[in-house]
Chains A and B, each alone.
Chain A
């Protein structure tokens, strides 16, 4: 595997279900991100982890719970979601503090539908 991978690619869940999204980066980066992408809206930053420590939580509802067990893996645990949470969830990684652009590399996303 190369780059940033995400599983599953598609997920349909009911409002009472519990599910998890997984992200893995194979780039040796030290920062990982969760974004929400809704149609015709800007990317919304949800969570940021630097060196496995959460550094940003942009007022995200508690029904979204992130977990970063190591610098290569990131999870987003979902429970009691609402239909308005249906969106594309993107994971990204970057190498921060090492000079250069520090651009973010994105995974293909998980298309989430909440019924």
Chain B
């Protein structure tokens, strides 16, 4: 079966750095997405990786290793507004998104 694993919850301090991991086992691979979802709101697109390596976008970076079935989202200079759930999703061989259950990130002052 297809599976996406990510931690259920993480806590970090304002101004610090946090890394949210995602491991996947899917039938085929056509890219990996990270989305951010604030409580009661729509998920919003953060990043996309299809080749191995690091993609940097401001305070957020996303890394992919296809051979290891592994990705992480790195958030720097954490702000209180970064408190949200972070969803990892993999596009499989049928071009459908397989979703993880999300990681709830709690930022403390």
Contacts and interface: CB of A to CB of B under 8 A. Distances in A.
Contacts of A96: 95
B42 A104 contact: no
Contact of A56 (B33, B87, B96): B96
A23 to B, nearest CB: 11
B42 A106 contact: yes
A108 B41 contact: yes
B48 interface: yes
Q: Contact size class for A?
A: 10 to 19
Nearest to A100: B48
B7 interface: no
Interface centre among B31, B42, B102 (most CB of A within 10 A): B42
Contacts of B8: 40
B107 interface: no
Nearest to A103: B45
Interface string B91-103: 0000111111110
B8 to A, nearest CB: 7
Interface of B: 4, 8, 31, 33, 41-45, 48, 87, 89, 95-102
Closest 3 CB pairs of A and B: A106-B42, A43-B99, A42-B99
Interface string A54-87: 0010000000000000000000000000000000
19 contacts: A4-B42, A40-B8, A42-B100, A42-B102, A43-B43, A43-B87, A43-B89, A43-B97, A45-B96, A48-B96, A56-B96, A90-B42, A101-B31, A101-B33, A103-B45, A103-B48, A104-B97, A106-B43, A109-B42
A42 B100 CA distance: 5
B42 A107 contact: yes
B4 A42 contact: yes
Given A103-B48, A108-B42, 6 more contacts: A42-B98, A42-B99, A90-B42, A101-B31, A103-B45, A105-B45
